[in-house]
Structure 1
Amino acid sequence: MNNAALANGESCERLMHESNSGNTVLATGNFPLKEDDLNFVEVARIMDKELESDENEVIDEYLKDSMSMHTSEPPIPYNDPELKRESLRKSEIDSGEEKKSLAEIARKQKSTKSLLATNNTQLCGPRWKGKGFSLIARDNPMSNIVKQLQNSLMKASISGKLSGSNVILPARSDQSNLLDRACFGRPISTLDRETTWFQLGPEEAFYLVHSLKCLSISDPESGLAFDHDQLWKIIDSSTNENFLNMYAAYAHLRSKNWVVRPGIQYGVDFVAYRHHPALVHSEYAVLVFGEDGLRPRLREWADLQGTLRVSGSVAKALLVITIKWNCPLSFPICLEQCSIEERVMERWIPQRNRDGSSQV
């Protein structure tokens, strides 16, 4: 048996065997996949499907056992009063035990719901989507994946095309794989089968250009590459939000190896993941503010409470990032001298926050 690792090898328990050609393959249903063609994102999706299949098999087996338990007992003779009395006594005992068991389950469910309701802001932490996914993330640090992407783009000297405030980027299969694993942009469906096209958001594109220095962006009409100052002004003028604050917050979280994705579906600016979204749920819903206080978010108590309720209901902590500029707003000096304040907001709950007692 070949002991070669499958993406993270040691953390993925899989049935491996040798094919006729001598290549190690992964047995997954009717589709054997070559080991070299898989990355940890695909492994995570395969594992998720297998876990779901195993759960369905367990449920089916349980239902079969339950049916056999109820149908395997012989019928009680109608004309034997002693057996009838004994059967009734046993059924009463079983019924009482079943009621106690159901009451205990209901009590535990109620306790769990109460705990979630009163501690929804304390759910911050990694929530992995499957068994063993934490090991996959440990064996594939996001910092290493971003470094591989940086080296690949630098060697290829790829140039993206500016389209409004977004950037369209052509990528080969290996670069497309790294962009997906590092969570930059999203693939676009085209008729070109040899090249995969990615659409990068303004913060993602400028992070690759300015922070990682592995990408150039050119004018689609003239074909000339923009310098950093020109690109900054063009993107800033084409976005609705203050791009300076948004990029500073995005780069701050990325520098700490968080995966940052748009958070429009939760009514926030970003959502932050500990690793790839295929492996783990996001932990933070992020709102970005500048020190000028011109943004209308969270100015009213109802807006603050509503945002906290939404983030808490999806098991995310609300992270408010405030950008403080310690110099005139001139690029790029301002990015090097700004200070960033992080604050986790919690919803005030009387049962938990009242002084002197945990209950009303």
Structure 2
Amino acid sequence: MPESIRFFHFVSIEPINKSHLHFHFIFYFKKYQKSNEFIYTKVFKKIMKGELIENRVIVWNIEDSRKLFSEGYYGKPIGIPKPKIEEIDAPLVLDLIESLYLLENKKITISKSKRKVTVEQMIEICKDEHHDFDKKYLVYKNFRDKGYIINPGIKFGCDFAVYEKGPGIDHAPFLIQVYNRNEPITSTGIVLAGRLATSVKKQFILAIPKGKDNVDFLALDWWKA
């Protein structure tokens, strides 16, 4: 029986357009220039309100809940495991990372005990909840700014699951694990990543932050020897 050969190579993740997912595989790292990126975002007509409760932000207004979910698949409606936009009739639960992203982009305001939560305060809250938050948030922003839908990847055993169109519309084709640049990648880690990705028929990608603005993406491929 031929053995499977696993190897990593750098990939360049391009901004998404309305109909296609662009993944250009390259064997060198292409530096991302923000000025050259096409930022695809939905237009929010008004700033919506969220309430910080423990480690989640709740959007209580049903209309706002439906709008946030439909314009980027943010959050999860309470009590609706597989929501459809037209069926959303419940408050929306946002995790801390997406809440900060929406707050930074002035899509929502966040309050706690009727007091406004600032971006700086939200960052500190996120740091208390997430190990290596700065790196994970940089990766999250990188995908969101390029138009991808990015959700927690806990059910796949990784940091993030990335969609082209959104959960319930297409399957997440990419699983993302955030690594520190100085963190060694062990052979055991490579095997586990490969087994995970192939078992769920997805591409496994290591996201390695580089400085404050850039991210290297390293993809795992399997070949038959």
Task: State the TM bucket, normalised to the shorter chain.
Answer: 0.7 to 0.9
Q: 1:338 aligns with which of 213, 216, 222?
A: 213
TM-score (norm: length of structure 1): 0.47
TM-score (norm: length of structure 2): 0.73
Percent identity over the alignment?
21
Q: What's 2:186 paired with?
A: 300
Q: Does residue 320 in structure 1 map to residue 206 in structure 2?
A: yes
Q: 1:323 to 1:284 in 2, by over 3 A?
A: same
Higher relative contact order (CA 8 A, sep 6+): 2
**Residue 184 of structure 1 aligns to a residue in which SS?**
coil
Q: Match for 1:306: what amino acid?
A: L
| Superposed CA RMSD | 2.9
Q: Match for 1:305: what amino acid?
A: V
**Residue 116 of structure 2 aligns to a residue in which SS?**
coil
Structure-2 separation of matches of 1:169 and 1:147: 18
Structure-1 separation of matches of 2:200 and 2:5: 12
Structure-1 separation of matches of 2:42 and 2:54: 28
Q: 2:118 aligns with which of 214, 227, 235?
A: 227
Q: What's 2:67 paired with?
A: 178
Q: CA deviation at 1:275?
A: 0.6
Higher strand share: 2
Q: Does residue 247 in structure 1 map to residue 137 in structure 2?
A: yes
State the aligned residue count.
188
Higher helix share: 1
Q: CA deviation at 1:315?
A: 1.4
Unaligned stretches of 5+ residues in structure 2: 8-17, 20-38, 81-87
Q: What's 2:42 paired with?
A: 147
**Residue 277 of structure 1 aligns to a residue in which SS?**
coil
Q: Which has the larger radius of gyration?
A: 1
CA contact (8 A) 1:291 1:324 kept: yes
CA contact (8 A) 2:6 2:220 kept: no
Structure-1 separation of matches of 2:149 and 2:79: 23
Q: CA deviation at 1:225?
A: 0.6
Unaligned stretches of 5+ residues in structure 1: 1-113, 122-136, 326-336, 353-360
Q: Does residue 311 in structure 1 map to residue 202 in structure 2?
A: no
Q: 1:291 to 1:163 in 2, by over 3 A?
A: farther
Structure-1 separation of matches of 2:54 and 2:181: 27
Q: Match for 1:323: what amino acid?
A: P
Q: Does residue 279 in structure 1 map to residue 169 in structure 2?
A: yes
Q: Does residue 218 in structure 1 map to residue 86 in structure 2?
A: no
User: Which portions of structure 1, spanning 4 or more consecutive aligned residues, are displaced by more than 3 angstroms?
Assistant: 117-121
Q: Match for 2:108: what amino acid?
A: L
Q: CA deviation at 1:120?
A: 10
Q: Match for 2:165: what amino acid?
A: H
Q: What's 2:178 paired with?
A: 288
CA contact (8 A) 1:268 1:287 kept: yes
Structure-2 separation of matches of 1:309 and 1:260: 22
Structure-1 separation of matches of 2:148 and 2:220: 19
**Residue 176 of structure 2 aligns to a residue in which SS?**
strand
